[in-house]
Structures are given as structure tokens and as C-alpha cells.
Structure 1
Amino acid sequence: MRSDPRRRGALLIVLSITTLLVAACGGGTANNAESKVVPASAGIDELVAAAKKEGQLTVYSAQDLTALNNLAKAFEAKYPGIDVKTVRGVDGDLGVKVETEFNTGKGIADMYVSASLSWVKPQAEAKRFLAPTGPELTGKGDYDAKQYVHDGNYFETNSAVLTFGWNTKLHSQGLTDYPDLLDPSLAGGKIGVIEPTAPSIVDFYLWLEETYGADFVKKLAAQKPRIYPSALPMGEAMQSGEIAAGSFVAPITLDPAKKKGAPVDYRMPPEGVWGARYYGMVLSTAPHPNAGQLFANFMVTAEGQKLITPSAGSVLPKVPGTVITNDKVRVQDPAKLTPEAVAAYQKKWKSLFQ
């Protein structure tokens, strides 16, 4: 297995979430990948044989690099003879690479996983993704293909989630839901909030208002919280005791800290959670389309989900190590996050918090 180790670390989760609004463009030509794909009716054995004949695949992904490489290693062990190259980056960079491959017809990536629905939808409408052929993705396994495979041949693979958390020494009673952050005992700089510097974070605040009432963010501001640029420093501040609770922390960074003895905990909101769903697609320019189809299928099996979704959302229920299922994760609406709407909300937010 070969990998591109760019931008390692938990901050990658947050970076990918904050680049959800990437513009799509262009036309271009595709190679004849579709004609090379073993049809779904042929079955898994023929797909495996075709994938092994191709012998390799390249995956572009905004998912966590460690989890992605663990998935690739397990895939190579399950299907010896197929080499997986993982290229990890943020959606903005990878989307441009994929578009260039579409427009030139010279494909490098076989599969792409992105959290940027605003990029995925226009490309799907342009018919740039191959129809899934693996048994899971065609409704012959535990994966709910009717729910998670969308028009245009893109499919949900997992999700990154953000939630509230607390320092168990400073706030021993814990939190059950976001309204608990309004406890008077947490006023005066004891709560962390994130500054909405990106459209996706504006969406987080919109979600809070939609879920907990139009005045919830105003009440949160009245607590006089500390402001942080992202989930990572907020989580670190919670671990160190700088704050007693955080409104935007990542389970994927808190769970390792908990295992090492850090006094932190978190919970999933009972009505669902804010986050970023990841969408997979086998590309029309794929040079190894059958290997791409097989890898896509493996990603949504129980084995694949356990590896790709630690402390995150899964497309299957009851996967060890996951914290919620994709159907309970916020789906962002890019149409509501126009530059004008984002700027207006940021102005409103600053008037409340600064």
C-alpha cells in the first residue's frame, strides 16, 4: 500500500468540513471506463476477478488519513494482488484535480470521496460517475442502498461529526444536550464556541437555531464564552481545563485523549448531530474501474465501516467504535449558504459574541 501523507492529524477532519462549498465547473470527455465494468448482475466473484486483473487503484479522499490507510491495508489483505494508493487532501484541492481529469479525459483516480455536496451534485448531474456494481451498493447486502445511493450514482460512505463535550473534573454532572450549555454555572468564559469563519460553520449555527430555537445562539452568547478557531484547539482547551465545556468538539480527537486518561467526555445530541456526510463515487475516467467498484463496495461493509469510521458516523447500525448513523447527521443545503447570507450571519454573530 502506498499513501500520500499530506496534512496528517485530527485537524484534517475539521479542515475538510470547513471546505464544503466548492464550485463545480466544466464539461470534458471520459474514457471508456463504463464499458470495462463488470455488470452488477455478474456477481462478486466476477468483480473480484476483474479487479485483480486490473491489479491496482487510486483513491482520492477527504477522509481521515489514518483510517483511510487502515482501510486500504485491510482491502489489500482481503484481495491480494490489488495495490491501493491513497491520496488524502481537502475537498477544494481534490475537487480541482478530479475536474482536471474529467476535462482532459486522462484519469488517475478511480474513486473519490468528498464531503462537498455542492461539488458532488453538479458532477452527478453531468453523469461523471459510474453506476455502483458491488453487491452492497446494489441492495444485496446490509447497506441500505435505497437510502444512501443517490441519483447520479454517488453514495454515502460515512460521516465526520462534531458535538458538545465537557471536562469531567470541572463539570462533573456532564451534559445531555446543547441546552445544558446554558447552565448559569457555565457562564463567564467556561464554554468554548467556534467562530463562523467558513460557510459550513455558519451552517452549524443555523442548525442550532433550527433545532433548539431561534434565540438559542443569542442565549449561548449571553454566557460570555471563549472563542476558538476550530474544534481542535477547543478540545485541547477542554482537556487542559481552560474551559469546562465545548460546543464544537470532535469525538475522533477526544476518544484517544480519553483512553490516555484525559478528563473529557462527550455525547451525541438525542435529535441528531451536526457534521459532514462523506460521498463516494467511482469516476467515469477511472483507469481501473472494477478495482474502484470493489473498493467502494468494501468501504460500506461492516468490516470497512469499522475501519473508516472510528468515533464518527456509519452507514451501518451498531458498528463498533462508531458514534451515530448517517441518517442522523445534518445534510447541509448549499443553496442557503450564499456569500450574501453567510456574510449577513457572520455580522449578526459578531454583534452577539464580540
Structure 2
Amino acid sequence: MKARMIGWAGAFLAALALAAPAWAADAPILQGLSGAERERVAKLIEGARKEGALDYMSHFVQVGTARLMEAEFKRLYGLPGHKFNFADRTTSIILRRVEEEIRANKVTADVLLVSAVSWLHSLKRRGELTKYVSPEDKHYAAAEKAKMNGDGHWVADAQLNTISVNQSVLPGVAINSWYDLLNPKWKGKILVGDASRTETYTLVYMGWRQVLPKEFFQKLAAQKTGLILRGPEQRRAVMSGEFAIGTTIMARHNMVAQKEGVKMVPFYPKEGVTALPMMSAILAKAPHPNTARLFIDFYRGVPGKYIQMSREPGNMGRPELPPHPDPKVQAQLKKAYEIAPPIEKLNVIPIDWENVKPADVKKWQAEFVSIFGKGTK
């Protein structure tokens, strides 16, 4: 009897082993793949089934968008039972948690979706990131040209904080050059992101200074510019007409305003724009490495970008996506490209991000404060 039970158990385990590839074959993503790539993805799916989960963190992906991506990922890769733990946190909280976990050798996060470029370069130098070249990475040539990618450890889309005009208040006004802002009629109407309290706007200012002299900003400050720190507050100030022109407005804020009936229109000045890398990377000690690789493929690829661009338009490091089969979604994408063109269509200011040091941030922040002062909001 005992021998029979052992034999039955062995047969059952063997059947499971034979059935595993069939489970992976059920994944819709495999229908369009062949050869070595199909084999690679099928193997990752099998590993992901055993892991059963993914832990990822971001400060720019909204919760609603994350939930849609998770649902589509599970459908596409045949992982209906997968559990996702998404941490929507500020950059400083993400940095602190990950560094604490690394020091304790108890890493729980798999994937980082962040724009903290100096920190990711630090993680890369310390060997704390996985080098993973996704098949999607070949589409990010524009980001590579702009020095936004991380040598196989990440590729990047762009956070562009650029000029936005409330054309409901200023009908037909276009700002095609930074120098247009010095027109006396805009005095008291211009808003600037407060770099005195954040590295993000300091890096934006640092980029501007590569193509614009200090004297330009002194003249801009003489226009009685306002200073506000957080993006949503900047959007509301421009929407309300308190300020009619913002200089550090993210693309998605224009879409939010337009949905609420305010014609906020972005402009990308001819002298150039600062493109902060928005990176996707896998931690070296990720507890779910197979799922992490699949998720990176998805996030950087067409299925993930369809969701991101239709909900939260940003300036992609890859070209425009193939037409979506749903005309309604394609119409949303068309609108998104008008608000946030891929960076290959923009004059991106080249910055050697790998060599931007904390001392550089302090230097440019001090100069910004000497010109604009410190905001109160």
C-alpha cells in the first residue's frame, strides 16, 4: 500500500511537471511570439507562477493606473491569481525604505518606478540593481541619446516640467521661446516651481541653465514671478487665473485642466527643455525576479504604455505607439501625444545624469534661491 502511494505521488508530481508548460502556453502574450523569445517568456511565466506576487513602488504612477496595469498584466501573462503590492509613496519615503531593506538584507521590493536619477545611479554603482535588457529597450533610442538610460539597468521616459498657458484667460497666446516670458505684459502672471525645497525643480533649473544665462532668470524674477512647490497646487493656480502661465507644469496636469473645462496648453520652447528620467528598474535582491522581468517588459512595452498614456500622458522615451484597435482609446492617445509628445520630437537639453553630484544640486539650488527667493506654498 505504501509503495502504491509513493508511486501515485511520483506520478502526480510528474504530471504536474508536464502540465506546467501547458499553463504557460495559455498566456495570451505567447500567441504573438515564436522561437527563442517565446521560450524565454514561457520560462519566466513558469517562474512567476511559483512566485505568485510582485512588490513595486512609484511616486509618479497613480493608484488607478496601477490597478489597470495589474489587471491587464495578469490577463496577458496568464497569471490570474497573482498578488500585487503597490506602494504609492513620495521619493524620499521610497528611498528610505529601500535603503533600510538593503542594509538589513531583507529586500521586499522588486521593481522601482522612480525619477530619482542620482539615487538610481548610486544603486547601480553599488550593485543593488539587476542588469536586465528587455526586448522593449531597443525602442528607447531617444532616451539613450539624451543620456537618460542606465546601461542595461533601466531605460527612461521623461518627466518634463514645461511651460503651460491658460488660454481660457489668455486666448491664443503661445510661448515658443523662453524669452517670450520677458514681455512686460506678463508681469505678475508667471509661476515657477519652487526649487528652494526640492531636488526635482533644482534639476529642472540646472538643465535650463545649460541653454539660458543667469541674466535671463534675473530678468524673469523681475517679472514678479510666483513660487509654488507641489504640481497640483501649480495647476490649480494656473487654472484659476491667479497665474496665467506656468513654467514647470507636467503634461498630465494640462489634461486634467482640459477635462475640467480650462484650456491649459503646454509649450516646449525652442531653446530646449529639461527631461528628468522616469526610470523602471529591478532591485538586485528582488524576491520575485521572474515576475519582475515580465512586468518590466509589460511596463516598457506597448500594452503598458497604452494604459499609461491614455490615463496619465507623459513624454515617452520611445516613439508613438502603434494604433490602438479601440477607436476611443486611440482618440485618447492622439490627445495625449498633442499634450506630451515623445522626446524624439522635442529639443531635449543634453545632461550627463550619471555625473550629477549632490554638490551640483546644492550649487544650482543656491543660485535659484539667490534669484527667486523661497516660496511660501
SS at match of 2:154: strand
Measured in 2, the distance between the counterparts of 1:102 and 1:314 equals 30
Shift of 1:145: 10
Could you state the TM-score of these two structures normalised by the residue count of structure 1?
0.77
Task: Provide the rounded CA distance (Å) in 2 between the counterparts of 1:131 and 1:353.
Answer: 40
The residue number in structure 2 matching 1:184 is 184
Alignment of 1:1-354 (within 5 A): 43-65=40-62, 66-81=64-79, 82-132=82-132, 134-137=134-137, 139=138, 142-144=139-141, 147=144, 149-151=149-151, 153-175=152-174, 176-187=176-187, 189-197=188-196, 198-309=198-309, 310-319=312-321, 320=333, 321-322=336-337, 323-326=340-343, 331=351, 332=353, 334-335=356-357, 337-338=359-360, 340-342=362-364, 344-350=366-372
Conservation of the 8 A alpha-carbon contact between 1:280 and 1:296:
yes
State whether residues 142 and 343 of structure 2, in contact with CA within 8 Å, keep that contact through their aligned partners in structure 1: no
In 2, Cα distance between the equivalents of 1:68 and 1:349?
39
CA drift at 1:253: 1.7
Based on CA coordinates, which of the two structures has the bigger radius of gyration? 2
Instruction: Give the secondary-structure state (helix, strand or coil) at the position aligned to 2:86.
Output: strand
> Which has more helix, going by share of residues?
2
**Contact 1:155-1:281 within 8 A present in 2 as well:** yes
| Structure 2 residues without counterparts, runs of 5 or longer | 1-35, 322-332
2:56 maps to a residue whose letter is: V
Aligned mates of 2:251, 2:200 — CA distance in 1:
18
Q: How much does 1:290 deviate?
A: 0.5
- Cα deviation, 1:297-338, whole Å, max 9, x if unaligned, reads 111112212323432121221143241335655555532744
Equivalent-residue separation in structure 1 for 2:149 and 2:362 (angstroms): 32
- Assess if the C-alpha contact under 8 Å between 2:315 and 2:343 holds in 1: yes
Quick one: distance in 2 between partners of 1:145 and 1:224?
A: 36
Q: How many residues align?
A: 311
Superposition deviation, residue 105 in structure 1: 2.5
TM-fit CA distance, 1:352? 11
| Kept after mapping to 2: 8 A contact 1:163/1:267 | yes
CA contact (8 A) 2:156 2:317 kept: yes
Q: Distance in 2 between matches of 1:206 and 1:144?
A: 24
Asked if the contact 1:159–1:277 (Cα under 8 Å) also holds between the matched residues in 2, the reply is: yes
Task: Find the aligned partners of 1:44 and 1:347 in 2 and give their Cα distance.
Answer: 51
- Residues 157/143 of structure 1: CA separation in 2 closer, same or farther (3 Å cut): same
> 1:59 and 1:290 mapped to 2: Cα distance?
13
Q: CA RMSD in A?
A: 3.0
Which letter maps to 2:254? L
Mapped contact 1:218–1:352 kept (Cα < 8 A): no
Q: Which moved more, 1:315-324 or 1:337-346?
A: 337-346
How far did 1:185 drift? 1.7
- SS of the aligned residue for 1:122 comes to helix
**8 Å CA contact 1:238, 1:246 repeated in 2:** yes
In structure 2, what is the Cα distance between the partners aligned to 1:74 and 1:264? 31
Q: Could you list the runs of 5+ residues in structure 1 that have no partner in the other structure?
A: 1-38
Q: Cα distance, 1:144 vs. partner? A: 4.2
Q: Say which SS state the counterpart of residue 65 (structure 2) adopts.
A: helix
- Whole-Å Cα distance in 2 between the matches of residues 51 and 352 of structure 1? 49
Deviation string, structure 1 residues 171-192 (Cα, Å, up to 9, x no partner) = 22322232221222212x1222
Distance 2:106 2:259 in 1: 45
Describe the shift of the 1:208–1:146 C-alpha distance in structure 2 as closer, same or farther (beyond 3 A).
closer
Matched residue SS, 2:136: coil
SS of 1:261's partner is coil
1:41-71: CA deviations, max 9, x gaps? Answer: 9522222232233222111222222333332
Paired residue type of 1:156: V
Which amino acid in structure 1 is aligned with residue 320 of structure 2? K
Per the TM alignment, residue 93 of structure 1 is displaced from its structure 2 partner at its CA by 1.3
Indicate the SS of the match to 1:85: strand
- What is the match of residue 35 of structure 1? none
Alpha-carbon deviation of 1:85? Answer: 2.0
Return the TM-score normalized by structure 2: 0.73
Question: CA 1:77–1:212 in 2, change beyond 3 Å: closer, same or farther?
Answer: same
- State how far apart, in whole Å, the 2-side matches of 1:104 and 1:244 are: 49
Amino acid at match of 2:164: G
Deviation at 1:128, TM superposition (A): 1.7
Report if the CA contact (8 A) 2:44-2:294 is conserved. Answer: yes
1: CA distance, partners of 2:70 / 2:110 = 14
Go from structure 1 to structure 2 and tell me whether the alpha carbon gap of 1:291 and 1:128 turns closer, same or farther (over 3 Å shift): same
* Secondary structure of 2:278's aligned partner: strand
From the two aligned structures, give the one with the greater strand fraction. 1
